[in-house]
Amino acid sequence: MVPYLANLVHVARTVQVDTTFGRTVGDLNEWEFVIWYGSVERVLTLGRIYTDGADRPHYKCLFDELQKVIFRLTGKNLRFKRFSRGGNLVTMGVDMEAAQVQGACDSFLPTNEPEYSGIITTEPDEFALFFVRTCISHCKRYGVHKLKPFVDAAVFARLMEFPYMKTDTDVANFTAWITSLNNKKVQGSSNYAFVMFNTYSIPIDWWKHKLQYPWILPSLIKSRSHIHAADWDITESSTNLNEGQHHWTNQRTGVKLSPYEAACMLSARKLDFQTAREVKDTLETGILDNNSNNILHRMGRKVQRSANAAAKSREAGKQLTETEELQAQYDEAKAAKKLSDQLVKDAQVKPSAAKGTTRRKR
């Protein structure tokens, strides 16, 4: 971790965390700690940790060490403003990996000051409701979209809208509706078998998984979260910044590297020091590395991507409609030909039958 970059966590509003699954091969994986730094209008990787585990104790250790290193480098504690006096962080963005969330809660729970925060829970799964936001893109792309082959268009459309429910009654009604579908892929069965989310396989029990952990729905649905509404509105709903940073790093350092080779860690360290110099230069000169990367530009590109996706969807729907019409015309013509052939056959049979009747009369 570069000391200059580490200091920037104390002015960040949110952090996004995730393992890369691309830059390294072998036992060790690279975990990235990312922020958006508005002063230079760019995403920054503040730290990288190489780990060979992905269970809850491992992640607790990871977040414990992260806090220690940041304090050692900056002289200040890594703190969330909801829990601690002087804290600045509002949310932590994640991809729904349960062990990572629970490990983070185990690590940050001792930083809570109940007399300041008013939060008295000692349960990590409940603690998550106050600062964790799950990536809505991951939830839809690797969850809801995997159910598309098993449901009709109307059901799929309603499934896609579940993060926008407004009340507990909405959630209860949605749960009842899920049950009424009698679809094991969507609803879940008595034999719970959820495939780990980060394998990107079809979730066997999609809705049951959402209800299994107390923090999942609140980390996706504003009305169920304990994050203040104003804070929810100003923080990212996805971890796209982190995902984009994985790609950015891979382009500059390579992929499928062995963490045990100096080239892997040294290339990342070299990149991080270079990034620190670029940030310093930008702040000193006022010249942005990318002058089309502020929140308005990013939102504009997001809207354009959505518009393009909608246009493609409409075009696909139009093509589907045309195909269906052609298929219908083909089926109609096929049926007409079959009827015509039958009429011809009947016409040929009738004279023969008439002749046979005449002979019998004789």
Q: Find out whether 187 and 179 touch, Cβ atoms under 8 Å.
A: yes
Torsion 43-48-54-57 (CA) sign: negative
| 31 found inside a domain | yes
Reported as a single tens digit per residue, the pLDDT across 141-198 is: 988 998 888 888 999 999 999 999 999 999 999 989 988 887 777 765 433 333 333 3
The predicted model scores a pTM of 0.76
Torsion 242-295-253-48 (CA) sign: negative
Question: Domain containing 59: what range?
Answer: 3-286
| Nearest alpha-carbon partner for 43 in 294, 302, 296, 300 | 294
Select the more confidently predicted residue: 320 or 159. 159
Statement: residue 108 has pLDDT above 70 = yes
CA–CA dist 326, 146 (Å, integer): 29
| 334 found inside a domain | no
CA–CA dist 50, 60 (Å, integer): 14
Length in residues, the chain: 362
Cα atoms in the Cβ-side hemisphere of radius 13 Å centred on 96: 31
> Chain-wide mean pLDDT for the chain?
83
Mean pLDDT of the 14-42 span: 91
CA dihedral 164, 309, 95, 15 (to 10 degrees): -90
Q: Please count the structural domains in the chain.
A: 1
| 116 found inside a domain | yes
| 349 found inside a domain | no
> Reading across the β-sheet that carries 91-94, which strands appear in turn?
42-51, 29-37, 14-19, 91-94, 132-134
Q: What pLDDT, on a 0 to 100 scale, did the predictor assign at position 98? A: 95
CA–CA dist 78, 88 (Å, integer): 8
| 320 found inside a domain | no
Q: What pLDDT, on a 0 to 100 scale, did the predictor assign at position 150? A: 86
| 250 found inside a domain | yes
Reported as a single tens digit per residue, the pLDDT across 248-294 is: 999 999 988 887 776 788 899 999 999 999 999 999 999 887 655 55
Q: Find out whether 99 and 72 touch, Cβ atoms under 8 Å.
A: no
| 322 found inside a domain | no
| 135 found inside a domain | yes
